[in-house]
Structure 1
Amino acid sequence: MPSQGFSAETFAFLASLKANNAKEWFDAHKPDYQRFIKKPADALRADLAGQISGLTGHETTSKQFRINRDLRFSKDKTPYNAHIRMAFWPKGKAFEGREAQPPSFFVSFEPGLIRLGTGCMTFSKTALGSYLHALESGSGDKISALLSDLAGKGFERSAPDLAKAPRGFPKNHEHTDLARHKGLAVWTSLADTGSVIGETAASFLVDTWKPTLAFWTWLVDLSTSE
């Protein structure tokens, strides 16, 4: 049975939390958090994991990021995240361990906005080496074409991490710009939060991710290559 998705009250709660980001307010509205955020998010995440497994052909695992912010190294001391964020990635030894940064599908539900992404936020050391080698050895044309196609479909590429290509990468190479990435992802934003209200929420999100499947598969192949 599909999840019921979110409700208008979900996004109203997130907006109110953003405007009243304090422990006293949150404690007073904890039943609303459980009803409009926690329970529907848990159900939607399970539904999404199953549908993503069907889309990719890989058994999928997932996580939902905590609503409590990590304040240890932040100047911003507001205690809560006024969003719901989830990530989904394939099961398997290649995607496990402390260094693993598996190719994932990401979603963030925010007041008045849904943001979806696909990719690797940061490559593992091994995957980064494979990525740079792929750019040099001919696969750069394929990933460049995939990214260009996705740009035409409304997916923006993540910003590069480096001001120039890393040492050892050929100067004036046609894919020097891609070599500046230490991770690679594409993102799109949707202003219609109503699209995830009701039982079609999961199928809508998976349909939105579908154009990125070839890009995700390229990253999975990169991560599992010897």
Structure 2
Amino acid sequence: MVFEGFPDEGLVFYEGLEADNSKTYWAQHRPVYESCVRAPLQALVDELAAEFGTAKVFRPYRDVRFSADKTPYKTHQGAVVTAEGRGAGSLYVQVSAHGLQVSGGSWRLESDQVARYRRAVADDVQGARLQAEVDRLAAGGWAIEGDRLTRVPAGHDRDAPRADLLRHRSLYATRRWEPVDWLHDRRALDEVRTAWRDLDALTTWLADNVGATTKDPRPRR
């Protein structure tokens, strides 16, 4: 399947799902989800795979086992690419009723990864590289996001260089577009490709300095 954009029906589907997140609504509108949301997203990431790697398209169902929110379905469809061997530094794309979102970085770091991240941020060379890249992205309209502590972590002076980056327990950059005409044609592919290329220095820094966790996988509950 060739990517031809995200049909407006897919965005309307998510508007309805936000209003009625029920199995009844899902069953009645699932063909729209399959043809106007999941299939176009799969086509998009398939076309980008040669440059960025194979994406994982997420399931539409929420894991409600340990959540107070028991609504069964996600109100967006996302896909993530993590290049083999990188461990940290992924690329993400998401479509919803609110438009298109593209992100890159690390959304969740284990304790050993956080320790390596902080050592690299504190390093004069590697820390300066990251700060320059974060500043460049922010100046270009990217939102710099991630879980962060309220204070500089123990072992680092509160006035340390790059104190704000030291507070991060995860780090990623995000750009969002509200529904626009080009979302419905192949220009959306070009926007995602350009955005992912713009994130390359950030994801490469994370892969080089943080890498994969060395901790044993958590047992499934």
Identity of aligned residues (%): 27
Distance in 1, Cα, partners of 2:66 & 2:176: 28
In the other structure, the counterpart of 1:170 is: 157
**Structure 1 residue 82 and structure 2 residue 75: aligned?**
yes
Q: How far off its partner does 1:18 sit?
A: 1.5
Decide whether the 8 Å contact of 2:76 with 2:97 is kept in 1. yes
Instruction: For 2:61, give the aligned amino acid.
Output: N
1:106–1:116 Cα contact (<8 Å) kept: yes
Structure 1 unaligned runs (5+)? Answer: 54-59, 96-101
Q: Distance in 1 between matches of 2:200 and 2:160?
A: 27
| 2:135 is aligned with 1:135 | no
User: CA offsets, 1:191-220, max 9 Å, x none?
Assistant: 134333223432221112332221122112
Q: 1:159 to 1:183 in 2, by over 3 A?
A: closer
CA distance in 2, matches of 1:201, 1:30: 23
Would you say 1:11 and 2:11 are equivalent positions?
yes
Give the alignment's Cα RMSD to 1 decimal: 2.1
Code of the residue aligned with 1:215 in structure 2: it is: L
Give a deviation string over 1:166-207, Cα, whole Å, max 9, x none: 222234212222111111111111113433322343222111
Distance 1:103 1:192 in 2: 27
Match of 2:57, as an amino acid? Q
Deviations 1:21-41 (A, max 9, x none): 110111122222222122222
Please, which moves more after superposition, 103-112 or 121-130?
121-130
Contact kept? 1:135, 1:175, Cα under 8 Å: yes
SS in 1 for 2:10: helix
Residue 89 of structure 1, CA deviation: 1.2
Q: 3-state SS of the aligned residue for 1:86?
A: strand
Q: Is the counterpart of residue 70 in structure 1 residue 70 in structure 2?
A: no
Change (3 A) 1:149 1:193: same
| Alignment: residue pair count | 211
Q: Is the 8 A contact 1:61 1:91 kept in 2?
A: no
Q: Cα offset for 1:88?
A: 1.0
Give CA-to-partner distance per residue, 1:100-157, whole Å, 9 cap, x none. Answer: xx21111221113212111001223333222211122212222111111111111111
SS at match of 1:61: coil
CA shift for structure 1 position 159: 4.3
Cα distance change of structure 1 residues 31 and 198 upon mapping to structure 2, 3 Å threshold:
same
Contiguous gaps of at least 5 residues in structure 2: 213-221
Q: Deviations over 1:50-106 (max 9, x none)?
A: 34x2xxxxxx232122211111122222211121111111012x53xxxxxx21111
Map of 2:202 onto structure 1: 215
**Cα distance in structure 2, aligned partners of 1:160 and 1:77:** 24
Task: Supply the AA of the counterpart residue of 1:33.
Answer: Y
Q: Per the alignment, in what secondary structure is the counterpart of residue 199 of structure 2?
A: helix
TM-score, length basis structure 1 = 0.84
